[in-house]
Amino acid sequence: MKLATFCDRDTATGFRLAGIKDVFIPERNEREIWNKITARSDIGILFITEKISQSLDKYIRDFRLANNVPIIVEIPDKKGRIKDHVDFVSHLTKKAVGVEVSKGR
């Protein structure tokens, strides 16, 4: 299974430097790229920026209900986290553990 990312250009640069080859950068065609990604069976984990995730919210939610793979991990872009945005992995962690897990400063 491969790692892939669906993000802006700046975030994509970091992922490419980390060795991820399957990088998808939307121009105006987020839904079209989403359909290409979800049609593939070789992607195990998909990193997606919160901004793109918000625009595809309904499609991502429906996909998660019907599929276990790829695991979709929402990440902030270079501007940081979107206020009041709760990503799915954090939500599941909080639900399972009973407390919110965060990085200490």
Distances (CA, A) of 48 to 65, 73, 96, 104: 17, 6, 23, 24
For residue 72, the SS3 value is strand
CATH for 10: 3.40.50.10580
pLDDT < 70 positions in the chain? 80-105
Residue 105 domain-assigned (yes or no): no
**What pLDDT sits at residue 77?**
78
pLDDT, one tens digit per residue, over 67-79 is: 988 989 888 877 7
Q: How many domains does the structure of the chain reveal? A: 1
The pLDDT assigned to 89 comes to 59
pLDDT of residue 6: 96
What pLDDT does 36 receive? Answer: 95
Range of the domain at 9: 2-97
At 8 the pLDDT is 93
Cβ–Cβ < 8 Å for 18, 44: no
Three-state secondary structure of 24-40? ECCCCCHHHHHHHHHHC
Is residue 78 included in any domain, yes or no?
yes
85 falls within a domain? yes
